[in-house]
Structures are given as C-alpha cells and as structure tokens.
Chain A
C-alpha cells in the first residue's frame, strides 16, 4: 500500500525533481549575477521574472498569448475533429484503410512547416493560412492514433456485442468508441502538442501577432530577457495542455488509468 502510494506520487510530482530545478535556478542566478556566465545570453532568472511582469503589465504578453491560443484552438479543432472521425472510419473499414494508407504514409512524414508556402499560395497571406497549417499538423496524429485504437480493439468485444444482440449503433457507442477512447485521447494530446509547435514556427516566419512573433522580435532587437520570458510562457502553455488533458483523460477513461502507460 505504502509503495503503491509512493509510485503514484512520484509519477505526477516528485520532490527530488523540484529540488533539482530550484537548485539549478539558484546556481544560474548566482553564476549570472557574478558574471561567471554572460548576462547577455543567460540573464538571471530574477531578471526574467521581472521582464515577465513588465511584459504582462504593458499588455504585450496577454495580447500575443491570446493570438497564439486562438490560432492553436481553431487550428487544432479543425485538425483533430476530422482526423478523429476519419481515423474511426479507417480503423473500422479495411477497404478505406487499404485505399488511404499509402497516401497517409507518404504525406505524414513531411514536416508540416514545409508546406506552409504551399498553403500560403492556396489560402493567401492571412490568418487562415496559419490556422490551416496548424490544422494539418494536428490532423495526422489524431488520425493515426484513432485508427490504431479502433483496429487494434480485440475482436472478442465485437463478438460479445453481437452475441448479446447489439445493433450497429449500440456497438458503435458502447464498444467501438469507448474501446478506442484511450487512443483517441492520446491522438488529441499529440495533435495539440504538434499544433503548438507548428503554430509558434509559423509565427516565427510570418505573423504580426503571437508568441512566435515575440520570440523573433526580441531576438532581432537583442532583448534576451524578453526572449526568455516568452519561452517561459510557451513552456507553461505546453505544460498546461498536457496537465489539462491528463485530467480530462482520467475523467473520460477512468478504466485505463492503470493499464495504458502510453497515455501519460
């Protein structure tokens, strides 16, 4: 019992890791303050926190964060919803899988940022193009994970459903969907993370708002503190996504907490 408890705690939050992080920050602070490492490239954490506060108060961080969040939300929604639906269909139908597998195998490995120019040509130099690239990048992980989840489902569950007289709809809602839910959710998580990455990358290339713009701008003007402050926000955003999804996962699929390490 005691051991179980320990495992559970360390899996989510470990005192050792926290202590290590604090020590690292303190060493960094000291090294930077004494000039042991260059203040220009590694400003002390205290200065970064200071900058975070200033940038929040002058409205730059909130504005650009909001722009990125909206872009990711829209894009990821546009990617994950069709990706998941299509993944279910492909997992369900062997024929669809046979038809589309090669196309997906061929298009999936292309770094999505590399098709941004193409998207620009098609959708124009506006907000839509950025959202579309994010959508495309979130589409693939959602599709592939969902498809895997559906077609790896043990056939015995369909046999049980059929044996008890379940029709198509019942089988879909009570067997196929919940059975592949853990994979669907991990597709969503991967889609969101990829979406975040691609959104920032797109903003670095071409945008007027967004955290990527802040990163680029602070580099160009050599405001290294601002660069760090922005990266902190990106990192917090990424962590929030994952913590939120883990919470959602535990809510939606409580049965698979124990036996699916893949989803953490």
Chain B
C-alpha cells in the first residue's frame, strides 16, 4: 500500500457551506493505475486536491506509507486547465519540478529534453504554451509530472477539454509513457470508457456529498488500446459503472434545471 484515505470529509465554508466530500475511504497499492469516475460536481477535483495537500480536510486523514522527505515529492498533479505557466517555455515548464529541487540548469534541461523529445515536442521546446495546441500543452504538463518522479501521479481530467480524436491518441500515449515509467496514478475522469481503458481499478463516486460508491477491478489484459472496446468484458464493466452513476446524473440534471 502506498497511501490511504481514511474517513476523508471536506465541507467548504463559503457563505453557504458546501459538503463536497463525506467519509471517503480507499487505499491504493504501489504501481496501481486507479481511475475515479463520477458525475460533474461530485467532488473529484476536491478529492485530488486533498491528496495533493492543496486543500485541508475538515475530517479524516490521508496516510502515506512513506513519511514525507525532502528528496521526493509525494504527489505531482496534472491539472485540467492552465497547468503550464504561460511565461515559461515548454522546456522550462517541463523542467520546473527539477528546478524546484535545485538541479543545475544544464542538468535539468538535458533530462527534460529527453522527455520532451519522446512525445514529439522537441521542436517546440523553446515555444511558449500559447503557441501550442491543447493536446501538446497537456502532453507537456504530463511530462512535467512524470519527470518530477513523485510517489503518486494525480491527473484531474487531463484530456477533458480535448477533441475526441486527440483524446484517443493521448490515452494510448499516456499508457506507453506509464509502461516505460511505472508509477502509481490516480486518474480522474467523467468518461467511463476512458476509465476502463486506463485503469486497473475504477472507483465510482456519487455526489453531494461525494463518496465512493463502488470499487471495481478492471482485469482486462495490458497493453491496452482503443480496440479494447470490442471485448465483451469491456461492455460488462461499462454497464456496471453506468448503472451506478446513471441515477446520480439524472438527479443532478433535475436539480440544475
């Protein structure tokens, strides 16, 4: 086990208190790729921000197996939007984790360059994020997180704002990178297909307040690709997850309209 969430709850104390999460419990093993699915607004972002310690829980705890030390980041997060600093080049952005750690300029740029080249961004190394497409930006953000080599990689719907075709390619690329750099990953998505394709496990969340409804193992063989969708097992899991969140989605629609 690499970390676990115990009775994690968070109520935002805005003018009108919002119970975002209540009693979230799960543990994650080293090297696992865990996908968390749930309808929009159910507290997924809140959950990963808690794990990243960008938020403090109102109740409960997150226990990491290894105590925090200065040499290694516990988490590195890939944000849905605006993850890259607009004022840094792609190279500087990808090397940011190493810069914070105090590596020399030459050293960190050399290592960042290797990662950048592998996803075909070499010729954009000295470009600024606004000169890149959305897909390329997310690639760079993911490379930054992998290069920082945290204990746990957190990804909050990293492909949600990309078009469907790009998303397919990006998923397969992510799986390739992950295979070459094995790492514990928590991957947030609202896309059930994506969760099945990527994850070893799917945690299904229900909303308001958010909590874990189900923990489903995905035992499909790896390496996986887009064609996985044709397997009957894929359909079975899809059905199972959809069945769990269908009501949630209906309810949230009813509330908002």
Interface set of A (CB-CB < 8 Å, partner B): 154, 156-157, 159-166, 170, 174-175, 178-179, 181, 253-256, 258-259
Contact = CB atoms under 8 A, between A and B. Distances in A.
B130 A163 contact: no
Given A255-B130, A259-B130, A163 B76 contact: yes
A53 B10 CA distance: 75
Nearest to B93: A160
Contacts of B76: 163-164
A162 B101 CA distance: 12
Nearest to B144: A164
A254 to B, nearest CB: 7
Interface of B: 49, 52, 54, 73, 75-77, 79, 81-83, 85-88, 96-97, 99-101, 128-130, 148
A154 B82 contact: yes
Contact of A165 (B81, B87, B88, B101): B101
A157 B130 contact: no
Nearest to B79: A156
Contacts of A166: 100
Contact of A162 (B54, B85, B148): B54
A181 B87 contact: yes
Contacts of B97: 164-165
Nearest to A181: B87
Given A162-B54, A164-B148, A157 B100 contact: no
A256 B87 CA distance: 8
Contacts of A170: 99-100
A165 B79 contact: no
Contacts of A258: 130
B87 A156 contact: no
Which of B73, B87, B88, B101: most chain A Cβ within 10 A? B87
Contact of B83 (A156, A165, A253, A256): A156
A163 B81 CA distance: 15
B117 to A, nearest CB: 22
A164 B87 contact: no
Contacts of B88: 174, 178, 255
A164 B73 CA distance: 7
Contact of A160 (B83, B87, B101): B83
Which of B76, B96, B99: most chain A Cβ within 10 A? B96
The 10 closest A-B pairs by CB, nearest first: A178-B87, A255-B128, A166-B100, A164-B97, A156-B82, A163-B77, A164-B100, A165-B100, A255-B87, A159-B54
Nearest to A255: B128
Contacts of A253: 87
Given A166-B100, A181-B87, A256-B87, 18 more contacts: A154-B82, A157-B82, A159-B49, A159-B54, A159-B79, A160-B83, A161-B100, A163-B52, A164-B73, A164-B97, A164-B100, A165-B97, A174-B85, A174-B99, A179-B87, A253-B87, A255-B86, A255-B130
Nearest to A162: B54
Contact of B128 (A156, A164, A254): A254
Contact of B75 (A154, A163, A181): A163
A36 to B, nearest CB: 53
Nearest to B75: A163
Given A255-B130, A259-B130, A160 B85 contact: yes
Contacts of B79: 156, 159-160
Contacts of A255: 86-88, 128-130
Contact of A156 (B81, B129, B130): B81
B50 to A, nearest CB: 12
A164 B130 contact: no
B54 A164 contact: no
Contacts of B86: 179, 255-256, 259
A135 B148 CA distance: 46
Which of A154, A161, A164: most chain B Cβ within 10 A? A164
A252 to B, nearest CB: 10
